[in-house]
Chains A and B, each alone.
Chain A
Amino acid sequence: MTDLTLTYDLEAVRADFPILSEKHHDDVPLIYLDNAASSQKPLKVIEAIDTYYRTYNANVHRGVHKLSEQATKAYEDARIKIRRFINAGSKREIIFTRGTTEGINLVAQTWGRVNLGVGDVVLSTVMEHHSNIVPWQILAAEKGFTIKYIPILEDGTLDMGAYAALLRDNSVKLVVVVHVSNVLGTVNPVAEMIQQAHAAGALALVDGAQSIPHMPVDVKALDVDFFAFSGHKMIGPTGIGILYGKREHLEAMPPWMGGGDMIETVRLEGSTWNELPYKFEAGTPIIAGAIGLGYAVDYLSELGMDKIHAHEQTITAYALERLSEVPGLKLYGPDAAQKGAVAAFSFEGIHPHDLAQILDSGGIAVRAGHHCAMPLHTHLGIPATTRASFYLYNTTQEVDALIEGLYKSKKTFAL
């Protein structure tokens, strides 16, 4: 099989990720196809974190000593890099969080708590990750608003007709939608959906966890009100994420967590809040994580998000083609043209957990389960799927190894 045309030096990229040259088992190389769960980290990111701890570890925004100055500058530089990466209007719109989940919870507990009540509707979708369902359910139980779900069509895309109909009900206050499904891989038409939401007088929150690592995202062009994502899925560290919010909303929102750094003055009878973005960053932040994420963004930008996206589309199209040739395998989600770098499937006669275990013995890391999308699996009528997900460093040879692994699993189960 001749390799497909690559848009960048794939071997050089692979060499930047130390873990990819580790052995998975004693003599089996690692084939990492669980990128939708978490991505690997390039040396540049690992070293940035190491350098912070080794040479200028200190708290930010507090000290006047040199280390604190240096840490503050690195932390704030990271915020600026991320602002540029998503084309936000101001660094004040970039809030550091622990990840996508925390970003969504922040919006629910601040904007949601003030703006949602009895008679209001939050529109979500059947393909959401639990992190974009449960925070709204928790708040709905307290505030008495209703959550409605946009259904999915047979091909794994959202029913846009149903969406338009649901919006006609004037009580929709907020639309919350995943940009790219972590199971189906569906790339939702969020720009169009946001426009429709705004026309209906609703705001829109987009879960960008599975989009921003893989494609260029421009929050201004999308005109999105809130956009949440995680660092660790975009070659950055765990424990750091971003909530982007339009300044006008963030200014009007009350703080969520109280503590240090988020106050202007504290008196025993009450306090006033610090300016954006610090109002939402109580406590000592994830300094090393933020700095690491800044370097991750540098790496992705230097390589080019367009090129990364093109590479992944090539790999995904190839994987879908090869997978569809395997007897007994059923793929979920739309075809390659409308899909992110995800292939979720079921395999006749082998439970996903068993399949993942057998693949692992061959060095192939995939995910098995409901992928934190139980309502979607209920809709599909299956308890679990096996998911292979790709990223900038994956190769067509790795896809071939996955296919071989599947045939080996068939043999093991004597199918």
Chain B
Amino acid sequence: MYDMYRELILDHAKNPRNHGLLDPADIDFEGHNPLCGDRLHLTLRVDENNRITEVGWDGEGCAISQASASLLGEEVIGKTLDEVKSINKEQIFEMLGIPLSMNRIKCALLSLKVLKVGAYGLAEWQQQEADEEEE
């Protein structure tokens, strides 16, 4: 049962990496998970090649949503915005490495949603969701 709270998740949730907002930032976006009230505010700095140099974020929510933000932040530093575009839901699930029940998927994906909407706009995220939806 406590797979969901394995060491990695608890470590990232308790000691979030890249915590704290960047000011100024090149990308700045805040999103919410309406079901449980998780909140994530993400800021990014990119260099002249659109490569992400710094990540800073702030938010509150469950261990899953916070750990996901922390893990994703680490993952994207050094990648270009183009490269980040290809990160999908499956990769987030893999990163977390835990089984997620239906109602927790939204918690896990808040970080990805905020990143994608912030970097590419809502339409892009909706398109990605539509592409990934089997139904």
| Residues in chain A within 8 A of chain B (CB atoms) | 61-64, 68-69, 72-73, 76, 80, 83, 90-91, 261, 263-265, 272, 274, 278
Contact = CB atoms under 8 A, between A and B. Distances in A.
A265 B102 contact: no
Contacts of B130: 90
A61 B35 contact: yes
A90 B34 CA distance: 21
Contacts of B102: 69, 72-73, 76
B103 A61 contact: yes
A135 B106 CA distance: 36
B34 A64 contact: no
Given A61-B103, A68-B103, A72-B103, A91 B135 contact: yes
Contact of B32 (A61, A90, A265, A278): A265
B32 A80 contact: no
B105 to A, nearest CB: 11
Contact of A265 (B34, B101, B135): B34
Contacts of A61: 35, 103
A264 B101 contact: no
Given A62-B35, A263-B34, A264-B34, A80 B135 contact: yes
Interface residues of B, number: 10
Nearest to A79: B135
B90 interface: no
Interface class of chain A by DSSP: mixed
Nearest to B30: A265
The 6 closest A-B pairs by CB, nearest first: A264-B34, A91-B135, A265-B32, A80-B135, A274-B34, A69-B101
A124 B102 CA distance: 43
B3 interface: no
Nearest to A91: B135
Contacts of B133: 90-91
Contacts of A278: 34
Given A80-B135, A91-B135, A64 B101 contact: yes
B79 interface: no
B14 interface: no
B104 interface: yes
B1 to A, nearest CB: 11
24 contacts: A61-B35, A62-B103, A64-B103, A64-B104, A68-B103, A69-B101, A69-B102, A69-B103, A72-B103, A73-B102, A76-B102, A80-B135, A83-B135, A90-B130, A90-B135, A91-B133, A91-B135, A261-B34, A263-B34, A264-B34, A265-B32, A265-B34, A272-B32, A274-B34
A274 B113 CA distance: 14
A63 B103 contact: yes
